[in-house]
Structures are given as C-alpha cells and as structure tokens.
A and B are shown apart, each in its own frame.
Chain A
Amino acid sequence: METERIDAAPAPEDRADLDPAERGDSPIEAAALTGITVTPGLRPLAAPEHREAVARERRAEARPARREPRPPASGSGLGDRLFDTVTAAFAGLILVILAGLLLILVLQAREAIQHFGLGFLTGQTWDVNTNLFGAAPAIEGTLYTSLLALLLATPVGLMVSMFLTEMAPRSIRASLGFVVELLAAVPSIVYGLWALIVLVPLVRDYIQPPLLDHFGATPFFSGYPLGLGVFTAALILSIMILPTVASISRDVMLAVPNSQRDAMLALGATRWETTWKAVIPYARSGIVGAVVLALGRAVGETMAVQMVIGNTYAANWSVFNTGTTLPATIVTQFPEATTPLHEASLIELALILMVVTLILNAVARLLVWRMTTKAVA
C-alpha cells in the first residue's frame, strides 16, 4: 500500500542506478573505491555508540545543504498571509480529525463504558437477549489470529526483502519491488473472496485432515475439518501482510549505507554474512517497525477475516475452531444492532481497536522514521 511508504527522501530506486562498484557488488573494486570509508564503516559494527556518532555527524553535514534552498516561507503581503493561514488551517485540521475520531468513539460508546466499566475488557459473554456484553473473546481472537499471521509472514517477508535488496539481479529488483507494493494495495475483499472460495476448501480437504490425524490430540489442533476457522484466517492474514512486511523492510534495508556492506565484503565476508552481520543489525529498528506496522494491519483487517473465521463469539486455543475478531464482530453485527447498549458496545469494540492500532502505528512509525532519517542524512 502506497500509504505505508516511509519517509525516505530519495526514491529507493535511485540506488539501483548507482555504479555497481559503488553498490559494493564487487568487493575488490568496492574496497578500492571506498578505501577511506572502510575503517569508519567497520567500527560501528562493534560499537553502536560510534555508529550513532557517525550518523549524527553525517546529519549535521547534510543539514545546511538541505535547509538552505528552502528558507522559511514568510510572506509579508496579504495574499501570502492568507495562503499561509489556509494551508496551516488544513494541516491543523488533520490533528483535529485524529482527536475527533477518538472523541466521537468515546462519546458514542459512553453508554457501554458506563454500564460495564473495565469489566467490558474481560467479559466473556456477548448476549443480545440479556444485554450482557464482554469483549474478551474478540480481543483474544484478534491477538491470536494476528500473532499467528505474523509468525508465518515475518520470516518469509524478511527473506523476500533480503532477496530484493541484497541478492536479486539489479535488472529485476525494481520491477519485483513494484509488484510487491502493488500486492499490498490489493483490496482485502479480493483476498477475502479468494480465501472463501479457494483457500477454505483447500484447507478443509488437504491441510486439516492430516494435521488432525497426527496432532488431533493436542489442544492446538483439535476439532473438525471445517475449512473455516482461526487457522484459515491466520493463513489469509499472513498472505495479506506479507507484502507490507516485505516492502517496508525492503525500503529500510535499502536505506542502509553501502559503506556497511563494503566494509564487510572487503573483509572477505560472503553475501549471507554481509546481510546478517552488517545489513540486518543496522536496519534492526526499521525492520521491527515494519513488523509492528504489519501487526497493525493484521489487527484491523476486517473483510477477509470475517469471511473465513466462522464468526462464533468464543475464544479457543484450537486453531481449527471457528472464532471471531474485533473488526469481524463489528462488521457482522453492526447494521443489525437492536438495542442502544448493543450498538454502544460495538462502538466500544471499535474504540479498543482504534487505541490498539494507534499505539502500534505510533511505535512503528517512530522506529521506521529513526532508521530512515538516520540513513538519509
């Protein structure tokens, strides 16, 4: 998804156009060309604080050059003042929108908040007839499916981004990267349709029976081969967040300075060692950010999960059981909400979802930002 693109000023593709020697593909040439940077590039591996210092130094060098052509926009005429005010007002509106989102949810959910208090978070029942609502099964279901999806998608996504930045031939890097970004933009209803019509029968007929035969006695794999359920939901979620993990960690890994790679290669390290001991440690915080961002997507994913999870309001350890998540519960019940308390409870579910994703996104953004601004400078 294009909105997930990070704040790196130069397009990552620019790097693909660099001279091969500069990219550090040929260790000998690279070492010859970057002879001076080998030493400072080496030390950071051992001393992180030194790395910080180098980055700070580079930032300081880059700053005047970046600022100079853009002096403060301080118009003196009436037109300028008006223009400044209008654009600033719209920028301020963005802050107001965030506050408004939270405020509206809190206001609309207040009946449920007052009625159930904190018990809403731990309540196990969701009964429209007795007007008793508790969010625990939905929260647990959301966490369970999202974490399972993350467990599946992270290693694969990381390997894909590693392949895209470190190993693939340069000619296919840019186009493969674009395909990955495009896949992140495919709407969830399309994933959901495919999951419901293709993946569910596949899981029911070919994946669940052997797993039930061998591990049916364990609490994680008990149940019946329905096709629908937590397992299928986690599977489609992992397929959906894979492009997110891959494309953001790709951007982050592209932002790692080539001096890091050059230094490692100049020591005679293999590609694999360079990637694991120079690139990934340097990009660590950004990669964690990418994973957290993907978790945020998984937590908020609605349609694809709703279509395959089965929508029974109960928490369960077995991945073959049907379950529910926060967004799935909201979208399944919302237009049919009968009592005001039911509606308020559903809105409180949305509030919980909003707060959780807000925290996840804030953390992820800070991590990714720190990483990319460091490298850009």
Chain B
Amino acid sequence: MLKGYLARKWTNLIGNGLALLCVIAAIIPLGAMLFYVLQQGGSSLDLNFFTQLPKPEGETGGGMAGDILGTLLLIGLASCIGLPIGILGGIYLARSSNLGFSRMVRFVTDVIAGTPSIVAGVVAYALVVIPTGTFSAKAGAVALGILMFPTVTRATEETIKLVPPSIREAALALGVPEWKAMVRVILPAATNGIVTAIMLGIARVAGETAPLYLTVLGSSTFPNTLNGPIGALPVEIWHYAQSPYPDLHRQAWAGAFVLFSIIVILNLAARVLTFRLSNRVSAG
C-alpha cells in the first residue's frame, strides 16, 4: 500500500515535470522565431522601408512602400466583400429562430474557415483572373474576402449574443419595431464587439501569401490600378526570402516584423475591446 502510494506520488511528479518540459520544448522554437523576427526585423527597419520602392536586384537600399500600400488597398477591398457577409450573417445567426438552418450556416461557416487559403486563391483566379485575362487587385480582394468572412461572422454572432436581452426587450416594450431595436439599440451596445470582429477578420487575412501570389502576382511599383498586378507585403517577403542577397533578406525580416506587428496589435486591441464589452455587460 505504501509502495503504491510512493509510486503514485512519483508518477505525479514525473508527469507534471514532463508537462512542464513540453511547455519549454514548445516555447523554444516559437520563442526563437519571435526573437528573430523582433531582432532581425526591428534592426532592419528604417524610414526607407516605408517610403521607397524596391531597388533593382543586387543593389542595396530601397523599401516596400508599394507593397505596403498594396496590402492596405487589398485589405480595404476585401473588407468590402468580407464584412457585409460576415456582419449580416452574424446578425442572422445571433437572432435566428430557425434552429436547423442557422446550425447549418454555422457549420458551413466553420468549415469554410478551415479551407486552405490556397484554395481561395485558385477559386478567385478561376472567377476573376481567367475571365478578365489579367492578374488584378480585384481578384486578390475576392480571395481575401472569402477568407475573411467566417471569422467576422462567428465573432459578430458571439458579440450580439453577449448583449443582455433586457436591453432588446426594453426597446420592444416601447413599441419600437424589431429591426429598429437591432439597428439603434443592440448594435450600438455591441459596437466594441463588432469592431473586434472586424479587426480579427483583418488580422486573419493580412498575412496571407499564397492566394495573393495566384491573384495579384506582385509588382515593384506603387499600386495604380485595380485591373492589373499590384504588390503585396507578404508576397514580397516571400520573393525576398528566396533571393540570394543578404540585403533582401534584411528587408524580408523587416517586412515580417511589420506584418507581425500589425497582427499582434489587431489581436491585442480585439482582446482589450472584448474584455471591456464583457465587463460592461456583466456589470449591467
């Protein structure tokens, strides 16, 4: 009996130690990656990176200004596609009384969320690039829009469900129609959450590379058309990473640093907003 006790005690100790070891084993590569991105990227960043176009291969200097603008443009265009579907779909899911249908929509949303991004790229290629005969920002926006909306839908649904029903009931009791209660009362109460949903959606697509390579291709000039190839930050990072020039590697790190910062900031801000929303809701 005593021996059994000791054995169990040791198993517990060893097991817990093993779990801690695994945490450390997980932290080392991920920490190393973060370290490289911050150290290499941070030291490579300069003003030129944000203001200059790429120099011809082999020359040092230059920056990714065109690609940064391209990425911003693509995010804006993709939002025009992804956000309406995401937000309105999310509103439907949050208030639908048709349980079977909404369950199916929810399921399909999650399944689309897990679709590899390259598939969205191929579809956008088939849908836009083949008919128009050219790589274009529009095609990239379609690909990113498909990838963006599932995140927004689910986050919007969750956030509207967090609004206390008493608010809605109060509005309805005043004789306000259902839609007006939604637009004037519930949505304003959920503003933080919806902004969060939008930020998470943008963070989801900001770093996508493969679908953009298939649709906008990349370019070394400033984006000046929606109907031709434009540059995008992740695609440029990819090109630079595979080049043999150390100066381009340096810029790739800088690009990774910018991309990483955008995503961390969006996620952190989303986190803070959600926290405030749920605090306010539980206090109210």
Cβ contacts under 8 Å, A360 to chain B: 114
Interface centre among B8, B111, B151, B165, by most chain A C-beta atoms within 10 angstroms, is: B111
Q: Is the beta-carbon distance between A350 and B88 smaller than 8 angstroms?
A: no
Cβ contacts under 8 Å, B107 to chain A: 362, 365
Whether A47 sits at the interface, judged by CB under 8 Å, is: no
Cβ contacts under 8 Å, A9 to chain B: 161
Q: Is the beta-carbon distance between A105 and B108 smaller than 8 angstroms?
A: no
Interface centre among A270, A303, A330, A353, by most chain B C-beta atoms within 10 angstroms, is: A303
| A185–B123 alpha-carbon span in the complex (Å) | 23
Contact count A vs B, C-beta below 8 Å: 288
Binds A, one of B45-53, B61-69, B210-218: B210-218
Q: Is the beta-carbon distance between A93 and B23 smaller than 8 angstroms?
A: no
Whether B245 sits at the interface, judged by CB under 8 Å, is: no
Partner of A189, one of B12, B127, B234: B234
Contacts A272-B12, A302-B209; is A73 near B108 (CB within 8 Å)? Answer: no
Chain A 70-110 per-residue mask, 1 if CB under 8 angstroms from chain B, else 0: 11111101011011101110111111011011001101100
Q: Is the beta-carbon distance between A347 and B122 smaller than 8 angstroms?
A: yes
A85 → chain B closest CB, angstroms: 10
A47 → chain B closest CB, angstroms: 24
Chosen A-B contacts, 13 in total, with CB atoms closer than 8 Å, are A2-B270, A70-B165, A79-B180, A90-B85, A101-B112, A163-B23, A182-B264, A188-B207, A189-B237, A302-B209, A307-B241, A330-B214, A365-B111
Partner of B127, one of A72, A104, A296, A362: A104
The secondary structure that dominates the B interface is helix
Whether B80 sits at the interface, judged by CB under 8 Å, is: no
Whether B242 sits at the interface, judged by CB under 8 Å, is: yes
Whether B263 sits at the interface, judged by CB under 8 Å, is: yes
Interface centre among A183, A187, A271, by most chain B C-beta atoms within 10 angstroms, is: A187
Q: Which residue of A lies closest to B268 (CB)?
A: A182
Chain A 152-168 per-residue mask, 1 if CB under 8 angstroms from chain B, else 0: 00011101101100010
Contacts A83-B178, A353-B119; is A94 near B109 (CB within 8 Å)? Answer: yes
| A301–B118 alpha-carbon span in the complex (Å) | 8
The 6 A-B pairs at the shortest CB distance, nearest first, are namely A187-B207, A300-B116, A72-B97, A69-B165, A159-B22, A83-B179
Q: Is the beta-carbon distance between B96 and A307 smaller than 8 angstroms?
A: no
Q: Is the beta-carbon distance between B118 and A327 smaller than 8 angstroms?
A: yes
A293 → chain B closest CB, angstroms: 7
Chain B contacts to A: CB under 8 angstroms: 8-9, 11-12, 15-16, 18-23, 25-26, 29-30, 32-33, 36-37, 84-85, 88-89, 91-93, 95-97, 101-102, 104-120, 122-123, 125-127, 130, 135, 146, 149-151, 153-155, 161, 165-166, 169, 177-180, 182, 200, 203-204, 206-210, 213-214, 217, 234, 237-238, 241-242, 249, 252-253, 256, 259-260, 263-264, 267, 270-271, 274, 278
User: Count of A residues near B, CB < 8 Å?
Assistant: 100
B188 → chain A closest CB, angstroms: 16
Which residues of A, 243-278, contact B by the 8 Å Cβ criterion?
Answer: 243, 246, 270-273, 275-276
B75 → chain A closest CB, angstroms: 13
Supplied contacts A108-B130, A187-B263, 20 more A-B pairs, CB within 8 Å: A2-B200, A2-B267, A86-B88, A88-B96, A92-B105, A93-B89, A108-B126, A159-B19, A159-B23, A163-B19, A190-B256, A196-B241, A197-B241, A198-B32, A272-B12, A302-B210, A303-B234, A335-B213, A354-B115, A358-B111
Q: Is the beta-carbon distance between A94 and B114 smaller than 8 angstroms?
A: no
Q: Is the beta-carbon distance between B92 and A88 smaller than 8 angstroms?
A: yes
Contacts A2-B204, A186-B260, A197-B249; is A90 near B26 (CB within 8 Å)? Answer: no
Q: Is the beta-carbon distance between A101 and B119 smaller than 8 angstroms?
A: yes
Contacts A101-B123, A157-B26; is A94 near B89 (CB within 8 Å)? Answer: yes
Whether A361 sits at the interface, judged by CB under 8 Å, is: yes
| A159–B22 alpha-carbon span in the complex (Å) | 6
Whether A239 sits at the interface, judged by CB under 8 Å, is: yes
